[in-house]
Structure 1
Amino acid sequence: MPGRKILGVPWPVALFFLGMMMPTSVGISLGGLRLSAYRIVLLAMFVPMLMMLLSGRRVRANTFDALVLGHCLLALASLIRWGGLQQGIESGGIYIVEFAGAWLMGRVYIRSYEDFRAFARAFVLTVVAMVAFTLPEALTSVHILHDGLAAISGGAPAPFIEQRMGLERTFGPFDHPILYGVFSAAAFSMAWFVIAEKRLTNLRGMSQVAGVGLATFLSGSGGPLVVLVMQGFVAAWERAFRGVQGRWLMLLGLFALVYLGIDLFSNRTPFHVFVTYFTFSTTSAYNRILLFEFGTAEVARHPFLGIGLGDWQRPVWMSDSMDNFWLLIAMRHGLPAWAMLVGLLLGLVIASARRRGLPEPWKRARHAWAFTLFGIAVAAATVHLWNALFVLFLFLIGSGAWLVDAPVPQTRRKRIVGALPLPAMPIRPRAPVARLF
């Protein structure tokens, strides 16, 4: 059973993804706790995955696992401080299952290039296949997947959302077009680097890249398009400067210059400019700016443990919806918990980038993984990652941890005529990650 796979993907990962693509109405209620399909999978697999990590049977714990644990403990403390012991443990428990469970799902079961490639192929295939349902949805305003699944489970139909560009904003099987859009956009780098292998002449692969782009467009949401555009930009940069040393430092310098230029020559802050031009609606852009101003003020008042799930100070006419994932994490759980999540993301990317001598397919996988996270992380400043989108983000972070510590395939040295064959020598990471166990 542990080695069984579905479409080449370990069966727990396949079940987890199937659960993510179900509306929240597909699940069960246990007391006051809502257990959606993906939560049931994470609950069932949490202890086995944790034991695999602690025992070193599939993977050995390291500093990044400690950051996940630290974030979860701080989040639990903030929720207990907000709601008392019982309510805090209930809310904190399910948060830990989602945060640490999704991380472990990627960390434990995606352990090699073969695992990552199989996951990427299944992910892209899923996104492209859903277009067969969401394209008619955009044209007919009939939410085929969402309403069909909700009707089976007795859930509510998709809520009314205004059209954009004359098209219905598509839900797919998700609870909101943003969820569907980001889920689809997250597959772009997987399609380009792993399926198409960066070759424009790979017609089959490029058709899947186009399918991912179409799926993202059909959501009619600005956040998913930001995810797509950011991935496309860094992919184009990598292709244009692939032979240049220090090209990523050059890119960081370019971002810094753009930020400085906007700050010097605009009467608005760079954040205000970014939000204005990366959203469809002027009203939603203005609302996000207000959310940022009042949200950061709340963080300043509660910097260490945040406010939990409590209400935050704002004008009475403002909605409590927080369309900024990074700000919401800091506001709910405090700056130390926020710093641990950011440290986990950046630390993994930097550690994987420092490995040398990787085979070409591994390098493409590294680009696919890092660029996907970059796109989502940038868009998360204008959207909230909730429900399936939240666990997808944590799973994707964990799915690239193998790039840091997985042994590189052995290579053979060139043989000299008349010389004895030399044994294959493994390539080791230049800066191994500190181990806890």
Structure 2
Amino acid sequence: MPAIAAKTRRKGTIFGVPIVVALFFFGMMMPTSVGISLGGLRLSVYRVVLLVMFIPMLVMLFSGKRGQPHLFDALALGHAGMALVALIHWGGLQQGIESGGIYIVEFAGAYFLGRLYIRSHNDFRAFAKAYVVIVVGMLAFTIPEALTSVHILHDGIAGATGGAMAPYIEQRMGLERTFGPFDHPILYGVFSASAFSLAYFVLAEKRLTHWRGMAWVIGVCIATFLSASGGPYVVLMMQMFVAGWERVFGKIAGRWRMLFALFAIVYLVIDLFSNRTPFHVFVTYLTFSTVSAYNRILLFEFGTAEVARHPFLGIGLGDWVRPVWMSDSMDNFWLLIAMRYGLPAWALLVGLMLGLIYAVGRRKGIPDTWKRARHAWAFTLFGIAVAAATVHLWNALFVLFLFLIGSGAWMYDAKIDSNAPPQTKRKRIGAAVPLPRAAPPLRRPKARMF
């Protein structure tokens, strides 16, 4: 029976990954020019996948076939609903529904795709392996791209479909900033960097002597480096930092409270002893140029002022107040969400991500394989979330972020497999040590008559 069940689970998958998820990732790696226009609506490949699957996924969700609906599903739908209200408030009913409708499909659709189709550790591992293989496999094209300045994947795909070629971007560190198949090096870099924790914790199983797994990790780092973009480097560095913290202090209870306390102390020290705010210091040291850092600081100042003027429903897709010489590009995902859709929508998104991480982190008695998957998932989201304060998550990056949030929801409510290997016991420093049980009293055996 187990063998039959295993064969059944493989149906509808490609290398263990559900076909719809494979199509979604295939669509994300297509340049924006690959798609169709329906009226004034641009339908890229991944949008078509999400649009086709949206209603079936809602039916699947409320039927309970892939886990009962829970609070975090409500938060995702609540954010999407608030964004729709904000866009209707900005552009009227027709324009608001057009813009808000596709936002709902991207936001809720990408979240539910991960939430409903990644439902076990086997699903998560298959997805992680496929993701890492894609990132490392693209090196066959992006290394020559960095050395020759020929955008092989992007221009090859765009040329075949009649799309626009890659725009000119200045080199950095003597290398061409690689696009891969994406529309910008930042997109390629964040897509690559997001695979680091998946490679380290799932494929390498957190073992530095796991040579094949660590080869995947190194490949992910090389791919991220070729983007020559500050945002992807932040995603990678943040994951490396928390992975190192877990490795060094993994046996200490309360190590994450220690980390949060360390962040708070660093923030206070910078605030007390620097003539700049901690945000200014953070942006300055995590960007490539002083011009880029100064621009992000101005974006933050004028953007937060806009949020203060429109705190509840934001400004929709309208323009925001700024000097005439400033670009309208907003390189801060979190600020843009608050500015466009208001603080309630922003709070629902933050609550979805942080609340789900907290709920999954509180689950006890899970096997070691689940623990590594939990670290991979949470650390990936942490890296992207920090970098999102200096870059905007748009197009493929936006739906990837929401898919990744949903891809860890199985650890919140999935039943632990009784056949899973037992949890490795290890003594944690600072953990409560249970007292030994008292030995049962000795009893005199009853006399027996023969």
Q: Same fold (TM over 0.5)?
A: yes
2:197 alignment partner in structure 1: 189
Q: Does 1:161 align with 2:169?
A: yes
Change (3 A) 1:181 1:394: same
197, 201, 213: which one pairs with 1:205? 213
235, 243, 246: which one pairs with 2:243? 235
Kindly indicate whether the alpha-carbon contact (under 8 Å) linking 1:53 and 1:59 is maintained by their aligned counterparts in 2.
Answer: yes
Kindly indicate whether the alpha-carbon contact (under 8 Å) linking 2:194 and 2:236 is maintained by their aligned counterparts in 1.
Answer: yes
1:270 alignment partner in structure 2: 278
SS at match of 1:313: coil
100, 113, 123: which one pairs with 2:108? 100
SS at match of 1:345: helix
Q: How does 1:10-409 map to 2 (within 5 A)?
A: 10-409=18-417
Distance 2:191 2:348 in 1: 24
Deviation readout 1:184-206 (Å, 9 max, x if unpaired): 00000000000000111111110
2:437 alignment partner in structure 1: none
Which AA in structure 1 matches 2:264?
A
TM-score by length of 1: 0.93
- 1:262, distance to aligned residue in structure 2 (A): 0.4
SS at match of 1:35: strand
Deviates more, 1:90-99 or 1:2-11: 2-11
SS at match of 2:366: coil
Kindly indicate whether the alpha-carbon contact (under 8 Å) linking 2:67 and 2:414 is maintained by their aligned counterparts in 1.
Answer: no
- 1:411, distance to aligned residue in structure 2 (A): 6.7
SS at match of 2:52: helix
- 1:388, distance to aligned residue in structure 2 (A): 0.2
Deviation readout 1:107-150 (Å, 9 max, x if unpaired): 00000000000000000000000011000000000000000000
Moved over 2 A (4+): 410-414
Distance 1:411 1:326 in 2: 42
Q: Percent identity?
A: 77
Kindly indicate whether the alpha-carbon contact (under 8 Å) linking 1:52 and 1:59 is maintained by their aligned counterparts in 2.
Answer: no
SS at match of 1:386: coil
1:426 alignment partner in structure 2: none
* Unpaired stretches in structure 1, ≥5 consecutive residues: 415-437
Kindly indicate whether the alpha-carbon contact (under 8 Å) linking 2:367 and 2:421 is maintained by their aligned counterparts in 1.
Answer: no
Distance 2:92 2:420 in 1: 61
SS at match of 1:54: helix
Distance 1:99 1:58 in 2: 19
Distance 2:162 2:419 in 1: 56
SS at match of 1:166: coil
SS at match of 1:365: helix
Kindly indicate whether the alpha-carbon contact (under 8 Å) linking 2:90 and 2:96 is maintained by their aligned counterparts in 1.
Answer: yes
- 1:281, distance to aligned residue in structure 2 (A): 1.1
Distance 1:89 1:411 in 2: 48
SS at match of 2:37: strand
Deviation readout 1:345-383 (Å, 9 max, x if unpaired): 000000001111110000000000000000000000000
Distance 2:105 2:340 in 1: 17
Distance 2:316 2:416 in 1: 43
Kindly indicate whether the alpha-carbon contact (under 8 Å) linking 1:42 and 1:102 is maintained by their aligned counterparts in 2.
Answer: yes
Change (3 A) 1:237 1:84: same
Kindly indicate whether the alpha-carbon contact (under 8 Å) linking 1:18 and 1:38 is maintained by their aligned counterparts in 2.
Answer: yes
Kindly indicate whether the alpha-carbon contact (under 8 Å) linking 2:296 and 2:331 is maintained by their aligned counterparts in 1.
Answer: yes
Which AA in structure 2 matches 1:398?
G
Kindly indicate whether the alpha-carbon contact (under 8 Å) linking 1:124 and 1:187 is maintained by their aligned counterparts in 2.
Answer: yes
Distance 2:40 2:362 in 1: 46
Distance 1:58 1:368 in 2: 22
Structure with the greater alpha carbon radius of gyration: 2
- 1:12, distance to aligned residue in structure 2 (A): 0.5
- 1:410, distance to aligned residue in structure 2 (A): 2.3
Distance 2:160 2:406 in 1: 33
Change (3 A) 1:76 1:221: same
- 1:230, distance to aligned residue in structure 2 (A): 0.1
Which AA in structure 2 matches 1:106?
G
2:442 alignment partner in structure 1: none
CA-atom RMSD in angstroms:
1.3
2:439 alignment partner in structure 1: none
Which AA in structure 1 matches 2:412?
V
Deviation readout 1:22-55 (Å, 9 max, x if unpaired): 0011111111100001000000111111110011
Kindly indicate whether the alpha-carbon contact (under 8 Å) linking 2:172 and 2:228 is maintained by their aligned counterparts in 1.
Answer: yes
Kindly indicate whether the alpha-carbon contact (under 8 Å) linking 2:367 and 2:420 is maintained by their aligned counterparts in 1.
Answer: no
* Unpaired stretches in structure 2, ≥5 consecutive residues: 1-7, 423-450
- 1:412, distance to aligned residue in structure 2 (A): 10
Change (3 A) 1:176 1:413: closer
Which AA in structure 1 matches 2:364?
R
1:423 alignment partner in structure 2: none
